[in-house]
Structure 1
Amino acid sequence: MTAPTPALDPAWIARTVAVALDEDLGPEPGRDVTTQSTIPPESTGAADLVARQDGVVAGLVVIPEVVGQVAARLGLPMATVDQRVPDGTRVSRGDVLAVLTGPVQVLLVAERTLLNLASRASGVATHTRRWADALEGTGALVLDTRKTTPGLRALEKYAVRCGGGTNKRMGLYDVAMVKDNHVVAAGSVSAAVAAVRERYPDVTIQVEADTLDQALEAVAAGARFLLLDNMATPLLAEVVAAVRAVDAEVELEATGNLTLDRAREVASTGVDYLSVGGLTHSSPILDLALDLEPTGR
């Protein structure tokens, strides 16, 4: 497994926020024609970031960067961010997650960008927490995949960690994953594994297997991590037992056609991981709101 970076890279946050603000305001410095028309630049106030749903929060760490960049673009003082809960916290509807204080123009211009990022991340964390809870006590962990929103992979994989999940590979560069098309192109599982080992001897090799024979061939070729794809529970249990009999140290992952209802059943086969693309490609947002306090004008 790839060791995940526990926190978001500040440089990545800065780049991502800049792109998001360009989308909303137009090229830097940009403008908000409504807010800048109706709110005097000297007006100050406070706003509460509030959960409108129960869930697990993530992405709150991006908020200071959002309000900081907005203040710089508008030429106004920096707003302060009093974060009330850390990322990864279970929250209830109505909980105040952070209080932002400063120029009202900054708060309102920053609103949608910070909500987009935090709501998206919190949705992923909330969904992941359901899987982590379902697997609790089984010894199996839930993994994410590369099925992420372009440009937001770092945030979404961070959110998976906040929800109790585990990151798999971060991209095509850090782990070799031999799948069916690679096997077709190389001629066999063994040939594909050998080709990767020769070209990139320093990387971990993972191999997808659809059948017992493929799994055993991959282990014989030296694979230390197998993706057992779209297997019914009885076949999955058979493959796990057969592989463990050959090499008990090989890591095994169930993937494909997984649902929360099946999570513990699949884990009972002895796999180490369940990989769930839906953590990042199908999680609904967690509804968050930024409410300006009445004294803000």
Structure 2
Amino acid sequence: MILQKEIELFLEEDLREDDVSCTLVKSQNVSAVIFVKEDCIVSGLEIASAILDYMKIGYEQKKMPGDFAKAGDVLYELNGDSVSILRAERLVLNFLSHLSGIATNTADYVKIVKEAAGEKSESGKVPKIAATRKTTPGIRKFEKKAVLDGGGDPHRQSLSDMVMIKDNHIEIMGLEQAFSEAKRQTSFSKKIEIEADTKEQAVRAAEIGADIILLDNMSPQQIREVVALMEQKDLRNRVLLEASGGIRKENLKEYATSGIDVISLSAVTNAADWIDVGLDIANK
């Protein structure tokens, strides 16, 4: 859901009070196209369309979220007031460029994992690629949607989505007490995830009833050892195992075949290149 107040805040930031740049041109009806200048997975169309609607610019949307677009493909054909199109231009292009970059980057990670799991994984399991909460303040929901458009998993939208017991909780309270208190305060409908730094901690988290265990900064070999140990103790099917920390495209294949269920990376959002997207007036 995109709120009108969000669009107004975005426009206020860009336009301010004395917009001479756009009002230099005479107000008249013009046509324009928005197009990509490089291959990408398209994202950001929902917010782009909402801005165009708010600015009363007519448009025909040529792609859907998650579609592949090759260089030169048109995303929108526009028709409307020239001043309105110029005022909406940079805001629309910024969202399309940034969010399509995240979707494209996410799709790269998903492809690597699928190929690796198909080639080497003993179980045939394909781990999910998930985002983290390391997102841009104010536009998290758009960045998380871009991850979805790229074939990834958004993970938590906020702290209220589930309970995450991290190393600092454990340092302050101890593992058992932190988990017990989380169970006391949490509805049955929410999952509880525990971060584990060692094999022993991971096994203990499974034994006391964690729904998800985050294997933090573990190597692929250490993860394999955790999986083997849990299988020996008949704990593996009780929990989801998530890996995070130190994971890059260069070592992703090793993690993909380690027996993990979920691989979460901040890099899908905060290391994504922007896609080059342009708007051209095509009035003749």
Q: 1:62 aligns with which of 29, 33, 47?
A: 47
Moved segments of 4+, more than 2 Å: 67-70, 243-246
**Matched residue of 1:10: which SS?**
coil
1:171 matches 2:158: yes
Which residue does 1:249 correspond to in 2? 238
Which residue does 1:22 correspond to in 2? 12
CA gap 1:263/1:44 in 2 versus in 1, 3 angstroms: same
Match runs of 1:1-297 below 5 Å = 9-11=1-3, 14-26=4-16, 30=17, 32-36=19-23, 38-41=24-27, 43-70=28-55, 78-136=56-114, 138=117, 139-186=126-173, 188-202=174-188, 203-245=190-232, 246-247=234-235, 248-295=237-284
- Measure how far apart 1:23 and its partner are: 0.1
Which residue does 1:6 correspond to in 2? none
CA gap 1:98/1:244 in 2 versus in 1, 3 angstroms: farther
Residues 209 and 226 of structure 1 are in contact (CA less than 8 Å); yes or no, is this contact kept in structure 2? yes
- Identity between Structure 1 and Structure 2 (%): 32
CA gap 1:67/1:201 in 2 versus in 1, 3 angstroms: closer
Please list the CA deviations of residues 199-230 of structure 1 after superposition, one character each: whole Å capped at 9, or x if unmatched: 12332100111100110111111101011111
Residues 43 and 103 of structure 2 are in contact (CA less than 8 Å); yes or no, is this contact kept in structure 1? yes
Unaligned runs of 5+ in 1: 1-8, 71-77
TM-score, normalisation: structure 1:
0.88
User: How far apart, CA to CA, are the structure 2 residues paired with 1:147 and 1:260?
Assistant: 18
Unaligned runs of 5+ in 2: 118-125
Superposed CA RMSD in Å reads: 1.4
**Matched residue of 1:101: which SS?**
strand
Please list the CA deviations of residues 230-280 of structure 1 after superposition, one character each: whole Å capped at 9, or x if unmatched: 111211100122123332231011111111122221121111111011111
User: How far apart, CA to CA, are the structure 1 residues paired with 2:222 and 2:22?
Assistant: 60
Count of paired positions:
272
- Measure how far apart 1:69 and its partner are: 2.6
Residues 244 and 250 of structure 1 are in contact (CA less than 8 Å); yes or no, is this contact kept in structure 2? no
- Measure how far apart 1:31 and its partner are: 5.1
Residues 194 and 221 of structure 1 are in contact (CA less than 8 Å); yes or no, is this contact kept in structure 2? no
Letter in 1 for 2:13: E
- Measure how far apart 1:67 and its partner are: 2.2
